[in-house]
Amino acid sequence: MCSAKSTEQSSQLIQAYLDHLLLVRRYSPHTVSAVRQDLNLIAGDPAQASQQHLKSLLVQRHASGLAPSSLARMLSSWRGFFAHLHEAGTLASNPALGLRAPKLPKRLPKAVSVDHLNGLLSGPLPKAPFSHAIAHLLIELLYATGLRISEAIALELPQPTTSNQRSWINVDRAELQVLGKGGKARIVPLTRILVDLIHQWLSIRASVLQDHGVSLAEFPYLLVSAKGRAYGVRQAQKDLAAYAKHRQLPVHLHPHMLRHSFGSHVLQESQNLRAVQELLGHSSIASTQVYTSLDFKHLAKVYDESFPRSKRK
């Protein structure tokens, strides 16, 4: 049984690592919260943890029915934590290095067809109800830029104190900057259609803030809730799904599907994997290669144009 002193030391080590992820590595609060849950599974003093102990925890969680993806995330959290302790000199070695999680099934990202998205986004920005207006804008924003939902809600309008270390959107210059995973910044251009929608949205945004007594100067974010506050991820998910259903989209729409649609459609048209990697903010080209599962029609076209004996005289 763990002593109170051991438990306190364990909590201090974990908290120091979580602070490092949040403040230095610039992980999102949601990711840090997930890492905290994974690390809290390690009973006792982390400095005394053995590979056998960690392996037993993995086996127990696997036997309880935990999904392979969750086991892989848990093991990744452990590896990062123990690597941090090793670099700090607290541990002589990383006990999680030799562990292996169950193999994850390969799943292609879900994408919405171009025709369905064109139908969903046809027409001007609805002025009412509010949830329809913000959902329409957000769908266009995510699809036209490939942003993650967390990146989109963090966008700020230009301010005198705007820093390169923040996520911002500049409508006049038709570009935005986001800080992706690991604090990596990337610049993404804006389409004319998206710029027009944002101009329409800014009028709605100003009215909402005024109705709730919030000045434009003190609220920097592009997106605002119906109550004049910061717009949240969960609300965005609900609004997008409800609006897509209202517009009779035949699939349940999730924000990340729009990012996948952006990556798939740009790659199919351009065949430029490196450019798609930069636009999506992937640190590794391997993450982008999942989008290379193109439709047969496109593959047949490439084959006919490229293979010498397929060309007709």
Q: Which residues are catalytic?
A: 148, 181, 256, 259, 282, 291
Task: Note the Cα 103 to chain centre separation in Å.
Answer: 23
User: 312: buried, middle or exposed (CB in 10 Å: 19+, 13-18, 0-12)?
Assistant: exposed
Distance between CA atoms of 109 and 90, rounded to whole angstroms?
40
CA distances 87 to 44, 93, 156, 182, 230, Å, are 20, 9, 36, 19, 38
Would you state the structure tokens that stand for residue 42, as one six-digit string? 């390690």
Distance between CA atoms of 309 and 157, rounded to whole angstroms?
55
Q: What is the DSSP string of 200-237?
A: HHHHHHHHHHHHTT--GGG--BS-B-TTSSBPPHHHHH
User: 255: buried, middle or exposed (CB in 10 Å: 19+, 13-18, 0-12)?
Assistant: buried
